[in-house]
Amino acid sequence: MDLLGHAAGRGVVWADDRANEGLIGLAEDPLEARPCSLGRIAPSPLAADDVVANLGGLPALDGLEHRPAVAEERPVLFAHDRPQAETLALVALERPADPGLDLGLIFRCGVVLHGHRIAEHLDEGVGIGEGQWAEDESAGLEDAHGRPEHSGRRTTICGVTIYLDHAATTPLRREALEAMLPYLTEEFGNPSSAHVFGRRARMALDEAHETVAAALNGGPREIVFTSGGTEAGNLAIKGAAWAGKAEGYRIVTSAVEHHATLHSVRHLAKFGFEVTELPVDRYGRIDPDELAAAVDERTILVSVQLANNEVGTVQPIAELIGRVRVARGRRTLVHVDAVQGAPYLAIDVQALDADLVSLGAHKFEGPKGAGVLWVRPGTAIMAQTHGGGQERYRRAGTEDVAGAVGLATAFRLCCEERPETARRLRRQRDKLRDAVMATGGMELTGHPRDRLPGHLSLIVRDAEGAAVVVALDLEGIAASAGPACTTGSPEASHVLAAMGFPAEEAAGALRLSLGRTTTDDEVAGAVAIVPGVLRRMREGSSALAADPLGQGVGV
Amino acid sequence: MSGGVDSSVAAALLAEGGVETIGVWMRLHDVADTYSEFKRSCCSADAGEDARRVAGQLDIPFYILNLEREFGAGVLEPFLAAYQAGETPSPCIDCNSTVKFGALIGRARKLYECDAVATGHYARVDEVDDAAAPGGRRFRLRRGVDGDKDQSYFLYGLRQDQLAHSRFPLGELTKPEVRSIARRHGLVTADKPESQEICFVPGGDYRDALRERAGWEGLPGPLIDADGTVVGAHQGAAAYTVGQRQGLGVALGEARYVTRIDAAANLVQLGRREDLEHQDFEVRDVVFTAGRGPAGDGLACEVRIRHRAEPVPAVVRRLTADGRGRRGTWRVELDRPVWAPAPGQAAVFYRGDEVVGGGRIARPAG
């Protein structure tokens, strides 16, 4: 089946020439219109008779008939052959004003399976053209339930939202899920138990430690599994601060850290620790000289991120850590928040020369609720949860074996695929970036080169990022105005503020973040959809700014 | 979607009827960031969560839109200014005119290509032939069918262009019917109690809002009786409302009510109950729903001076025409007196079940 076009959330036009007959129809729910057996096709929002009446009268459409789909009594239109189905699609696409058809929606966006898209023709009001039919059948990519196969090349389904928010979270990859399933079912043992169930769970947990350690070039005893990146960061910062209190009370971090860091150090400040939040440049980078100047004999901890979640900037981490070492050797601990960076940047803890590194599994297609803190051997941290002696007394509580296994599996694969993933993401991101920037009124944020490969962050001038995200969602693009953690709150981004953007500019922040499973089709879909939405948002926002209380909403 | 049962059902009816429905909860003020463990309000974060939950149950998209700036300019500032000028504001009316059917319609149409904003108001809007209207058609605003719940009073300020893009799916329904629809859909808000408070005054005492948002400090002043005798001290003119009886701190034998507030002179005057009976008064900033006033300078209609008050037959007469940036003032001459028309509150003109216009009750001269 080929999807000819869609209006996200509103309907799709599709065609199917299986069994040597052309088929086109309107499906109300795009999710239901994925390649599948005819019986699962959603009901048309229109009575089929009305469709025939609206489209009738054209010679090419003579003999068009409608009848219930095979398995269920739902109306679909059958063309006699593929050319007739194509004609029908063209007519449908060219006659947006047809009453009852409302196919004008279809002009707004559209993607066809397997790289064939009609999207670029939509602005001109042209329907599908020569050579735009998909040549390969998609049937082979379905699983037993009629859903697209989850594979490295995820089948792009038109009408399904294109997910461009991988900086917020990523889907759980199938391999990780499969590795986890036994530990959520029959292998349910507590790793601390003496019996066979406990031993099996312990074995899996040990292997997860080893897998993660190997991927980081560290040792298995240096791995502490946590409930996620936030807990890992909290344990690193609070644990190092309290353990080092006898040596000093100063903590140095930067103004663009994740809230897991900033709120942790500000919490510590209430207990007598002195916190320095280093400024950053226009791109969000810390100046190594300023870091060196901020570190003194009372500084027990430096916490910096590898890459920024909001603007994608990668810190000059080697130089930053090097300057701390020159000044203080190992007397000042260095925590690297690698939650956002680890999926895309190789981490060798020996070369990095940090003391603590935190990771969050769901950023690299692992499960939510699983994270890691790597702790250099000999580094004292004080546990922040108390109870049993799990994770070498560093994190009490029965271990989430399935989470650890899922994290380890996802991280191993992530690291193996990383060079290839990063290359592809950079190419895809640049394509999307060029399309977005061509619309005008956009300003890129973050470092132009030293940035995460799939990360595109910008300011849409005159518009509000939160409003843009709503509009994009309604058009089938999932994006973010900033970090997912602060969605809905009115505060401006602390990252952009630290980078020198005034609040009114920062309000237009938009983030499109690609991930390993992002397909070229999805990028093409985004390229077709996003610029138009951004243009509309800029124009609409300017109109609203002139009339904020809607004193002339127009009839 | 406020998170109450009415807007929940409005959304349910639209979605059920095949309308492409998008749920929106407006974050309007800082009270919205608190949970009810600390402060209770119809617009608290809990309400937003209820709205989100209902949207999820209806399987419609749902967004939180931040309209704090617009609410501040359109509702909060006039609210604070009115009390400080000795008037009694009508924030819900301002919110409808400038936020729900102002800023929100603007966003819905200009940013998201929506056709209309729908709410859970008990009111009706329809389009009728009118030879005098541009295009021969105009929109009518009518009372909701449920006489107890009718909210048309709060909507009198809507212009034709606003009505054209407004939908009131509950207009033909009664509250019990709405509850039953909510139960049929299993909506989490089905049995939620009514909220009557001002959403940004969680404690119910508007003087807290004056203090916190306008830095108001009650400046005591004279409390005078009808004959001008000073009978006590008030706690700041803005803390009183015309018709108020409680909390005056005076004992004068017969019950006394606030009859007049002169904020400029920081003076609050009392009187007996009958001193508040008024058969005519002036109404300023008058608008007519049809977009133009009556043909002559007078109009026979029924006038309602507060939500759910019985409309009283009256003739309204033009005193001053609409001026630059200012709507005209009209005189309301009622068939029989009404009690305590409060300056700043709305007087809404009805003809039968149709809202024809309205304005704000003006302070009596002198």
B30-49 pLDDT per residue, tens: 887 777 655 555 567 788 89
Least CB–CB distance from A553: residue in B64, B112, B165:
B165
Among B184, B201, B227, identify where a domain stops: B184
Q: What is the pLDDT of residue A109?
A: 23
d(C-alpha B226, C-alpha B275), whole Å: 8
The answer as to whether B290 is a domain residue is yes
pLDDT (average), residues B216-233? 92
Q: Do B106 and A544 touch (CB under 8 A)?
A: yes
In angstroms, what separates the C-alpha of A95 from chain B's closest C-alpha? 20
Ranges assigned E (strand) in A369-479 = 371-375, 442-444, 455-460, 477-478
Least CB–CB distance from B106: residue in A539, A550, A555:
A550
Residue predicted with more confidence, A382 or A38: A382
Q: Do A467 and B109 touch (CB under 8 A)?
A: no
pTM exceeding the 0.95 threshold for the entire prediction: no
Q: Which of residues 489-528 of A touch B (CB under 8 A)?
A: 489-490
Q: Do A543 and B110 touch (CB under 8 A)?
A: yes
Cα separations in angstroms, A509 against A66, A202, A463, A481, B6 = 48, 45, 9, 5, 35
Task: With beta carbons under 8 A apart, name residues in chain A contacting B68.
Answer: 490
Q: Do B27 and A490 touch (CB under 8 A)?
A: yes
Q: Do A470 and B164 touch (CB under 8 A)?
A: no
Contact with chain A for residue B78, Cβ under 8 A: no
Task: Name which of A203-217, A239-253, A477-491 the model is least confident about.
Answer: A477-491
Task: Name which of A151-165, B193-207, B288-302 the model is least confident about.
Answer: A151-165
Whether pLDDT at A208 is above 60: yes
The answer as to whether B300 is a domain residue is yes
Whether pLDDT at A355 is above 50: yes
> Do B273 and B345 meet the contact criterion of CB atoms below 8 Å apart?
no
Q: What is the pLDDT of residue A107?
A: 23
- Is ipTM over 0.90? no
pLDDT (average), residues A233-257? 97
Ranges assigned E (strand) in A429-508 = 442-444, 455-460, 477-478
pLDDT (average), residues A358-364? 98
pLDDT (average), residues A170-195? 97
Same domain, yes or no: B37 and B170: yes
Q: Which of B92, B95, B114, B301 is catalytic?
A: B95
Most B CBs within 10 A among A26, A553, A555, hence the mutation to make, goes to A553
Q: Do A549 and B102 touch (CB under 8 A)?
A: yes
In angstroms, what separates the C-alpha of B64 from chain A's closest C-alpha? 7
| pLDDT above 90 coverage of chain B, percent | 82
Please give the domain boundaries of chain A with CATH numbers for all domains. Answer: 2-150 (no CATH), 174-414 (3.40.640.10), 418-545 (3.90.1150.10)
pLDDT one-digit tens code per residue, A61-82: 555 554 443 333 334 455 555 5
CATH of the domain at B332: 2.40.30.10
Whether pLDDT at A383 is above 50: yes
Residue type, B64: I
Same domain, yes or no: B13 and B93: yes
Q: Do A473 and B101 touch (CB under 8 A)?
A: no
Whether pLDDT at A205 is above 50: yes
pLDDT one-digit tens code per residue, A319-346: 999 999 999 999 999 999 999 999 999 9
Q: If pLDDT is split at 50, 70 and 90, which confidence band does A93 have? A: low
Task: With beta carbons under 8 A apart, name residues in chain A contacting B63.
Answer: 470, 473
Q: What is the pLDDT of residue A106?
A: 26
DSSP secondary structure string for all residues of B134-164: GGGEEEEEEE-S-TTT--GGGGTT--HHHHT
Q: Do A474 and B112 touch (CB under 8 A)?
A: yes
Q: What is the pLDDT of residue B195?
A: 77
pLDDT (average), residues B281-289? 96
Same domain, yes or no: B16 and B143: yes
Whether pLDDT at A420 is above 80: yes
In angstroms, what separates the C-alpha of B214 from chain A's closest C-alpha? 21
d(C-alpha B154, C-alpha B166), whole Å: 14
The answer as to whether B199 is a domain residue is no
Spell out the alpha helix ranges (H) of A133-228.
Answer: 174-184, 196-216
Same domain, yes or no: B28 and B83: yes
d(C-alpha B82, C-alpha B362), whole Å: 12
Whether pLDDT at A105 is above 60: no
Residue predicted with more confidence, B85 or A113: B85
Q: If pLDDT is split at 50, 70 and 90, which confidence band does A250 have? A: very high
pLDDT one-digit tens code per residue, A107-125: 222 222 222 233 333 333 3
Number of structural domains found in chain B: 3
Q: If pLDDT is split at 50, 70 and 90, which confidence band does B319 have? A: very high
pLDDT (average), residues A123-151? 34
Cα separations in angstroms, A414 against A365, A408, A418 = 8, 10, 6
In angstroms, what separates the C-alpha of A77 from chain B's closest C-alpha? 21
pLDDT one-digit tens code per residue, A471-497: 999 999 999 996 654 445 557 899 999
> Do B140 and B354 meet the contact criterion of CB atoms below 8 Å apart?
yes
Residue predicted with more confidence, B213 or A68: B213
Q: What is the pLDDT of residue B185?
A: 95
Least CB–CB distance from B61: residue in A473, A539, A540:
A473
In angstroms, what separates the C-alpha of A442 from chain B's closest C-alpha? 17
Task: Name which of A42-51, A307-316, B260-269 the model is least confident about.
Answer: A42-51
Task: Name which of A18-32, A111-125, B23-37, B280-294 the model is least confident about.
Answer: A111-125
Same domain, yes or no: B258 and B282: no
Same domain, yes or no: B19 and B161: yes
CATH of the domain at B146: 3.40.50.620
pLDDT one-digit tens code per residue, A438-448: 999 999 999 99
Q: If pLDDT is split at 50, 70 and 90, which confidence band does A467 have? A: very high
Contact with chain A for residue B107, Cβ under 8 A: yes
Expressed as residue numbers, the domain containing B321 is 276-361
Contact with chain B for residue A471, Cβ under 8 A: yes
Q: Do A490 and B104 touch (CB under 8 A)?
A: no
Contact with chain A for residue B33, Cβ under 8 A: yes
The answer as to whether B366 is a domain residue is no
Whether pLDDT at A32 is above 60: no
pLDDT one-digit tens code per residue, A508-539: 999 999 999 999 999 999 999 999 999 999 99
Q: What is the pLDDT of residue B365?
A: 67
Which residues, 6 or more positions from B59, have their beta carbon under 8 angstroms from its beta carbon? B15
The answer as to whether B189 is a domain residue is no
> Do A422 and A474 meet the contact criterion of CB atoms below 8 Å apart?
no
Spell out the alpha helix ranges (H) of A95-195.
Answer: 119-122, 174-184
Same domain, yes or no: B169 and B44: yes
Q: How many CB atoms lie within 10 A of CB B233?
A: 12
Task: With beta carbons under 8 A apart, name residues in chain B contacting A45.
Answer: 18
Same domain, yes or no: B26 and B43: yes
Whether pLDDT at A235 is above 60: yes
Q: In what order do the strands lie in the sheet with B257-262?
A: B230-234, B221-224, B267-271, B257-262
Is A415 one of the annotated active-site residues of the chain?
no
DSSP secondary structure string for all residues of B7-25: HHHHHHHHHHTT----EEE
In angstroms, what separates the C-alpha of A486 from chain B's closest C-alpha? 12
Q: Find the residue in B nearest to A105 (Cα).
A: B113
Whether pLDDT at A18 is above 60: no
Q: Do A552 and B160 touch (CB under 8 A)?
A: no
Task: With beta carbons under 8 A apart, name residues in chain B contacting A9.
Answer: 20, 61
Task: With beta carbons under 8 A apart, name residues in chain A contacting B116.
Answer: none
d(C-alpha B87, C-alpha B82), whole Å: 5
Task: Name which of A484-498, B202-216, B307-321, B345-359 the model is least confident about.
Answer: A484-498
CATH of the domain at B261: 2.30.30
Q: What is the pLDDT of residue B69?
A: 93
Spell out the alpha helix ranges (H) of A499-519.
Answer: 503-506
In angstroms, what separates the C-alpha of A310 from chain B's closest C-alpha? 21
Task: With beta carbons under 8 A apart, name residues in chain A contacting B98.
Answer: 549-551
Same domain, yes or no: B291 and B170: no
The answer as to whether B32 is a domain residue is yes
Same domain, yes or no: B122 and B44: yes
Is B43 one of the annotated active-site residues of the chain?
no
Least CB–CB distance from A555: residue in B68, B107, B161:
B161
Size of interface A-B (CB pairs under 8 A): 81
Q: Find the residue in A nearest to B98 (Cα).
A: A549
The answer as to whether B96 is a domain residue is yes
Contact with chain B for residue A438, Cβ under 8 A: no
Same domain, yes or no: B32 and B179: yes
Whether pLDDT at A54 is above 60: no
Least CB–CB distance from A544: residue in B22, B63, B110:
B110
Q: Find the residue in A nearest to B63 (Cα).
A: A470
Whether pLDDT at A88 is above 50: yes
Same domain, yes or no: B175 and B162: yes
Three-class secondary structure of residue B216 per DSSP: coil
Contact with chain A for residue B35, Cβ under 8 A: no
In angstroms, what separates the C-alpha of B178 from chain A's closest C-alpha? 26
Q: Which of A109, A414, A415, A485 is catalytic?
A: A485
The answer as to whether B205 is a domain residue is no
